[in-house]
Structure 1
Amino acid sequence: MTATRGAGKAAAARPAGSRASADRLARLLNLVPYLLARPGIEIAQAAADLGVTERQLREDLELLWVCGLPGYGPGDLIDMAFDGDRVTITYDAGIDRPLRLTPDEALALVVALRMLAETPGMANRDAIERALAKIENAAGDLVGSAVAVRLPGDAERLDLLRGAVQRRRALRITYYTAARDETTERTVDPLRVLMVAGRAYLEAWCRRAEAVRLFRADRIDALTELDEPAMAPPEAQLHDVTAGVFRPTPELPLVTLRVGRGGRWITEYYPCEEVRPGPGDEWTVAMRVTDLTWARRFVLGLGPDVTVISPPELVEAVRAEAAAALDAYAVPQPATPEPTG
């Protein structure tokens, strides 16, 4: 008895449980060539070979049934037949053929891997280089001439920062603070250099702020190692960055926004205290910010996809700056000539 595709579609709509999507994708990609090499294999035997339960394998087969090439017509989807407890792939939708990269895809992979290899502090650099060599060898002339990627100034700057930490020397730095859109001169006592979410930071005691601060390496415009030793006070404590650099605390300003569909992405990139669906496509989002100056620039950058609800001073600051921007685009009216007597 051969099963029908419609039954597979209905079954595939059922929840797949709590398995991680990445794990399931790996199983599905392995499942097709495995079944192609063993037509008519018993499901129990296949489950044992693949290290899954029979129920899990059947659910994977039901999902596999509605996978295939774009177009998703009857001739594009993976098809299979069941004969009792045996399964056979009857159409593989081309998944047995090697992946062919377009020139743009090959170049994007090469650039991404080279950037990854150049990231300071990156572990398993040898594995990245091996993967890069394989892709470049397979792509051949697709990527054109050799691609060189350098993260601007990072490697040299990080060497200087690490040297200052090792030598226990104070630094004078010129630093750009994005939250306030300003550049300042500071003298700092370096504590360590660390990587968080792919970015390099100098953690140091800032004599100007009289506190431990994290300085993004790519925002240090200039630095000079001083002759004096670094002398961070005993109360200087390292930050816990396991959850990221920014850690919202109750004393920080709380901003409430109403965002449309185009602005929902902020809930995935910024820590939010509350996300509440509203009428239609709008969400109400509450988030802590370092200061309201940063929040004003952030909100203005989102354009019409956001409305500020609170605090009142942020509402007024955004309104005033938006009005000033509109005034700058206003067309001056020609002067009315005075009547002649």
Structure 2
Amino acid sequence: MTTQPGDTAPDQVARLLALVPYLLARGEVRLDDAAAHFGTDAEQIERDLRLLFMTGVSPGLPGDLIEVDLEALEGDRIIRVDNADYLARPVRFSPAEATSLVVALRTMVESAPEEARDVIQRTLAKLEDAAGQDGQGLLRLHVSPTPLESSAVVPVLESALAHGHQVEISYHVPSRDQESRRIVDPRGLARVEDLLYLDAWCHTAAGDRAFRVDRILAARELDTAVADPGARARDLTGGWFTDAETTTVTLRLGPPARWVIEYYQVTAQRPGPDGTVEVDLEVASEQWAQSLLFRLAPHAELLAPSDYADTFTSAARATLSLYGADGVDSP
């Protein structure tokens, strides 16, 4: 983690946690104004923003990572971030997290330096006060249930699984910021880390899919039976993000586009011709891949899959044709 002299790694983490809500509340901010607000220089804020490219929610697919508009940052020195709304919401601890935190603070308070002990004791007192006298109500710290626990779609999915029925779901796709309606054959519910997933056959996509339950906006159990009643749920606990829910895209990157390797989860890379490098990465949607290619042009080439390459070529030609319309000459 690169910081400026006198700026420690904890300083940068604290600034990053404050920076994203600050930017989201304003829509866009000039780089120099953000630097002045946080008492640092523009170069450090730019390093912070480039670090944000590698952060996001689990499991870290491209659609899960924070997005920074590099073109605006490098050209107009304007900061725009997207796909980071979760950082602007208040933190909610699960019962296990709250318990772990209190236990850790109690362990630290005796061995902490004198200057830190007061802060730890005040934090611990606030947590225990929220929990109840002497921490007896600690497990009630989590007053508002998480979407996972309170989601109204979970009973619908469980009922459909029990009866062997299909389900119509309305699903939010964050990588495209779109809502899609699908008919699925549910196979099972699986917890991966702190998230719950629906493993299902999606009739809309004609393939296996793992849907994050907190992104299912609505669910309706249908009277129709699933196509394959004997189908078993897949094991989603290990390496599941490389399954049919995503598509492997192969790119050939020129030197100016090699930053992709640093900012996105590349599953493989190989030397290419003329100083290029070929990389494989998992993408959640074709639209996201196209958006990335437009940002990388002309320093990247999409090698596979072929249908993605054909679609991108058509989209690029359509975009270029706009420059010839209304008297605007293409470059």
Q: Shorter-chain TM-score: what band? A: 0.3 to 0.5
Q: TM-score, normalised by structure 2?
A: 0.46
Q: TM-score, normalised by structure 1?
A: 0.45
Structure scoring higher RCO (CA < 8 A, sep ≥ 6) equals 2
More helix by share: 2
Q: Which has the larger radius of gyration?
A: 1
